[in-house]
Amino acid sequence: MRSSCVVLTALVALAAYYTYTPLPSTVSDPWKLMLLDAVFRGAQQASNLMHYLGLSHNLLALNFIIISFGKKSARSSGQVKVTDTDFDGVEVRVFEGPPKPEEPLKRSVVYIHGGGWALGSASTQYYDELCTAMAEELNAVIVSIEYRLVPKVRFPEPLHDVVRATKYFLQPDVLQKYAVDPGRVCVSGDSAGGNMAAALSQQFNQDANLKNKLKAQALIYPVLQALDFNTPSYQQNENAPILTRYVMVKYWVEYFEGNYDFIQEMVVNNHTSLDVKEFAALRARLNWTSLLPASVTKNYKPVVQTTGNARIVQELPQLLDARASPLIADQEVLQDLPKTYILTCEHDVLRDDGFMYAKRLESAGVEVTLDHFEDGFHGCMIFNRWPTNFSVGIRTRNSYIKWLDRNL
């Protein structure tokens, strides 16, 4: 009996040690976030072990765990019709909101889920419920794209899927089928989905053959660049819950099918050192000392290496591709982009990507709404149902849908 008590006490102490992570008092529901982060870290470590043992690629294993705990079939409710179909060979889940007698044509949102280009699905409970809520509250048609994931495909294939499905949807006969107003279509996404939404919006803005243009873009804590991993938010939140700096760099390397040996060098900006000539022309577009307000930069200093590893950019030229890093696009590309909503969170390595993009868009004459949440963390908007219901998750979702309602 005594030995059992000792073992139990030891296990409880070990679990408490593993779960506890010092968090700022300003973050939403800190103890609940610790538990959520511990579960996610456990899943990551289990998938890394499977990778090490040669049983599966770590991202495939991690996504299997995520999907297993939250997959939802296409099930219509009393107000929203939900169907799985494909648009030009790309799987999509379509949510059709209730019609309004006074509005025969509906507005629409093309939604791109996040997950580091490697995780998640339009069929997971979190995204299914988000899109259902959007369809019902906005009386809209929501198209959630099931793009192919890393490591089965690499950049730019996920983006190609998103572009192909959206172009198909914007065809007049398809819009007519779903009773969608061609002048009221928005593209949106969170995290890596926000990355592809921004890239798609830039591409469509430059496509002279595209008759139906987007009315708006809504980017939720988007990842927008891979050239400076020492912005103030990356420094401040390097070990933040859900998404650490190291993990974000790893997602980029996986997206580009790069060498894992590059990860640590990229963390310290060795890939964009002063001796990397390819980056010289883009440096001003990522100069956060001029793009970020003093309230954000605080006492943080830029990390610019004099000498680094030019081989990284040579082997991964995708780093300099604006389709991967929309923040580095030419000013001419940013002009005439549709009105934009950018949601950012204080406790997120990607906070400054959103801030800098908002500033560059404003400088290009684009109407921008920057919606910042001081108690937010990466991924929070999809966490609004028990047991992962966060106060900031509910508030971010409501704020996002409210903006869409007013601007779409």
Residue 284 identity (one-letter amino acid): A
Give 317: exposed, middle or buried? Use CB within 10 Å, 0-12, 13-18, 19+. Answer: exposed
- CA 304 from chain centre, in angstroms, equals 26
Element (H, E) at 137: helix 125-138
Which among 29, 128, 228, 348 is annotated as catalytic?
348
How far apart CA 344 and CA 370 sit, in angstroms, is: 7
349: nearest Cα among 376, 387, 313: 376
- Beta bridge partners, 339, equal 216
Closest CA to 114 of 326, 402, 319, 380: 380
**Residues ≥6 apart with Cβ < 8 Å to 406:** none
CB of 381 closer than 8 Å to CB of 403: no
Q: How many CB atoms are located within 10 Å of the residue 3 CB? A: 7
Q: Are 115 and 126 in contact (CB under 8 A)?
A: no
Task: For residue 8, give the amino acid letter.
Answer: L
Q: Which helix (DSSP H) or strand (DSSP E) does residue 14 occupy?
A: helix 2-19
| Catalytic residue status for 347 | no
Return the DSSP state at 368.
E
Residue 378 annotated as catalytic:
yes
Q: At residue 10, what is the residue type? A: A
41 alpha carbon, distance to own chain's centre: 19
Identified catalytic residue from 188, 191, 273, 325: 191
CA separation (Å) from 371 to 112, 224, 376?
19, 16, 11
Six token digits for residue 206: 């430059």
For residue 241, how many C-alpha atoms fall within 13 Å in the half-sphere facing its CB? 28
Judge contact between 289 and 280, C-beta under 8 A. Answer: no
Structure tokens at 354: 């959103």
Catalytic residues: 191, 348, 378
